[in-house]
Structure 1
Amino acid sequence: MGYFKKYKFDKSKFKLGLRTFKTGVAVFIVLLVFGLFGWKGLQIGALTAVFSLREDFDKSVHFGTSRILGNSIGGFYALLFFLINYLFHEQFWVTLLIVPICTSV
């Protein structure tokens, strides 16, 4: 416990800036949309909103677009893996060969 005693909360250094406010609004909107549509996995959606926020709007859009593209490519590789795995009756050697190939591409 002695290790944590040297860390103290200083109210004068705490600032609620615009980026913090935007993060809160983004998480609120994600939680609201997920709740209205009854979607599952709202924690992942909220984390995505937090991680996608950048210094300005253009960087946020660019990062979000890159994330969508990367997830789409990853989803395609996952689909390819499951099809190949199904064709070979879920043999373990298929996983040993295909997963490293798909993750390194």
Structure 2
Amino acid sequence: MTKGHRFHIGMRMFKTALSISLVNLCYHFIPAASAQIASIAAVYSQRANFSQSLTFARHRLSGMVVGGLAALGTIFLLDYLPEHYLIHSLLAGLGALFTLWLCNLTHSEKAVVGASATFFIIFYTIPESNRYAYAIMRTLDTFVGGIIALGVEFILPRERTVRLVAYYNDKVPQWLQIKHR
């Protein structure tokens, strides 16, 4: 950083913030959905260009499917086992193991973190009622976040935004400018 220039916003940061805003706007109209999960998916999916965003979104979405399947399997077991903290603890570990195994089985090694995050978010926040619907809704939330991030990247590729950013940068102080490389 140059001296006196402590704050900068890059295009990826700007597009990520725009994606989060759009996620939250959409979720204002979608009852029983989780903007939190969709926002995390948007942050994870937003990259420097559409090609990279698509690659990361694919990893996130495949991880979400794997984590969601592992969570559904664990929820199924919870329905048939006695409720006890030891069983719950064991199932957390077995669910994580199942998540990792599914990632390896589907050659989705790059999705391990996203799959694990999806599994744990569902497993640790699942309500007592509507367990399956909850797991499916959280899985769909991830799709929404990834799709919104991809849409922002598709609509605002670097080539299209360079002139807009230059115009904006001419109008604001340097510390508020958007950097694009």
Q: TM-score, normalised by structure 2?
A: 0.44
Correspondence for 1:84: 77
Query: In the aligned structure 1, how far is the partner of 2:92 from the partner of 2:10?
Result: 43
Query: In the aligned structure 1, how far is the partner of 2:27 from the partner of 2:21?
Result: 10
Compute the displacement of 1:39 (Å). 4.8
Structure 1 position 32 matched with structure 2 position 25? yes
Q: Kindly tell me: are residues 59 and 99 of structure 1, through their superposed partners in 2, closer, same or farther at Cα, counting changes over 3 Å?
A: same
Structure 1 position 47 matched with structure 2 position 40? yes
Query: In the aligned structure 1, how far is the partner of 2:75 from the partner of 2:52?
Result: 34
- Indicate the larger mover: 49-58 or 82-91: 82-91
Q: How many residues align?
A: 96
**Structure 1 unpaired stretches of 5+:** 1-8
> What secondary structure sits across from 1:37 in the alignment?
coil
Query: In the aligned structure 1, how far is the partner of 2:81 from the partner of 2:64?
Result: 26
**C-alpha distance after superposition, 1:14-43 (max 9, x if no partner):** 333322221222112111111132454323
Correspondence for 2:57: 64
**4, 8, 15: which is aligned to 1:22?**
15
The amino acid across from 2:71 in the alignment is: A
Confirm or deny: 8 A CA contact 1:85 1:91 kept in the other structure. Answer: no
Correspondence for 1:101: 94
Correspondence for 1:3: none
Compute the displacement of 1:71 (Å). 1.6
Correspondence for 1:5: none
Q: RMSD of the alignment, in Å?
A: 2.5
Compute the displacement of 1:61 (Å). 1.3
Query: In the aligned structure 2, how far is the partner of 1:30 from the partner of 1:87?
Result: 36
Which protein shows a greater Rg? Answer: 1
Q: Kindly tell me: are residues 85 and 36 of structure 1, through their superposed partners in 2, closer, same or farther at Cα, counting changes over 3 Å?
A: closer
Higher relative contact order (CA 8 A, sep 6+): 2
Q: Kindly tell me: are residues 44 and 101 of structure 1, through their superposed partners in 2, closer, same or farther at Cα, counting changes over 3 Å?
A: closer
Q: TM-score, normalised by structure 1?
A: 0.69
Identity of aligned residues (%): 26
